[in-house]
Amino acid sequence: MEKEPEADRAFAKLAPKFVILHFDTRNGRAPHVDRLKVKRNQTYGIVLRPDGTEIARTDKPADLKPVVVLMKKALKEK
């Protein structure tokens, strides 16, 4: 059984509306790392506009709940 089934279902509904990327910021070599203002070896959830500017972020999400909140916040802004 999933740890947070409600968050999993909410994430599954919202995920198709977003492009989900993973930047490996180890050694700071991933593209756009400087522009995103992230620290090395840290986990972030970041929502960007098409021009690359930041809409919202969450630092160190431990599970999907903060990511779902982040996605909902980004949808409201559009």
The residue with greater pLDDT, 74 or 25, is 74
What's the residue count for the chain?
78
Q: What is the pLDDT of residue 47?
A: 87
For the residues 24-47, what does the mean pLDDT come to? 74
DSSP assignment of 4-43, as one string?
-HHHHHHHHHHGGGS-------GGG-STTHHHHT--TT--
Interatomic CA distance for residues 57 and 51, integer angstroms: 16
Q: What is the pTM assigned to this prediction?
A: 0.69
pLDDT band for position 41 (cuts 50, 70, 90): confident
Query: What pLDDT is recorded for position 1?
Result: 38
Q: What is the mean pLDDT of residues 10-32?
A: 75
Amino acid 47 reads: V
